[in-house]
Amino acid sequence: MKKIKIYSYLDGRLDTTISEQLSNRFSRNHIQNLIKKGKVTVGGKYITKPSKIIKSNIEIQITNHNFDENNNNFIDTNDFKISVLYEDSYLAVIDKPALISMHAGNGNRSYTISDAILEKWPSVSKVGQENRRGIVHRLDKETSGVIIVALRETAYIKLVAMMKNRLVKKSYYALVNGHPKNKKGIVDAPIGRNPRNRTKQDVIEGGKHAITNYETIKEYDDFSLLNINLETGRTHQIRVHMKAIGHPVVGDTKYNNSYHNIKRQFLHAYNIKFQHPINDKIININSEIPSDLSGFLENIS
């Protein structure tokens, strides 16, 4: 039996909650039909009224759903298996899919990368910070790509210090609107929370030091594919810096006002390179660009 488990994060209508928790990837009508057909339980009880008001932090299960199995932008958490690109006794490098959060927080109670890590490596329950065990650094929910996971506390402590001292090189593919005047450049601009919208970051005076290096790989009629290397790791750094230079990331609903026929932001962490914190071995791991992004490139070529 196919089963999807999510959690409500605010009081509200059942159909609205499911739609938002599944990132609006399916029509409201489709979700309402699932509810009416008795395929949804709330707190263990079947609910068949889409407009039913439910409380926050309650478990919702969708069973025997008929979501498109070929939709690469949907993750059935019961079938989701973490993709390991590298592993030894101290750390692992995994390939994070898009549209799944790194860990619980800000009302999120859906299945997370942190949950997947603990299922794969139960001993990580004692590594790192509570609710984000083993997680050394993060990617946005809609961003895919490589992530380091510490499997032992000794490795975690050293990896966090390496991140702080910029000893981990992270490279990304980003598709942006337009064509940057300089094919290769550096954005050196401080980033902090937007005072008018606390859910956004922005380039502001007094913000945290942030440096983004970019280089144009290929130009399309209305877009440019960039290779991006980060010298710092601020929240939403690439997205904020690209917007600041007038070339926001395609599909970024928070920082790009243009509509694009893509279901998430075009941002993929394709490479990570660092010296192993214990044995000094150079770890250099690549992740292939996901099919949803490569397909979008094919459509605009």
Whether residue 11 lies in the annotated active site: no
Task: Name the token pair of 50.
Answer: 């889409």
Backbone angles phi, psi at 249, to 5 degrees: -70, 135
Q: Tell me the backbone φ, ψ of residue 125, rounded to 5 degrees.
A: -60, -15
Given 140, 202, 252, 292, the catalytic residue: 140
CA 290/CA 97 separation, integer angstroms: 8
- Dihedral sign, CA of 20, 24, 25, 27? positive
Distance CA 100, CA 251 (A): 16
Burial 258-280 (b: 16+ CB within 10 A, else e): eebebbbbbbbbbbbebeebeee
Burial-class residue 13 by CB neighbours within 10 Å (0-12, 13-18, 19+). middle
Which residues have a catalytic role annotated? 140
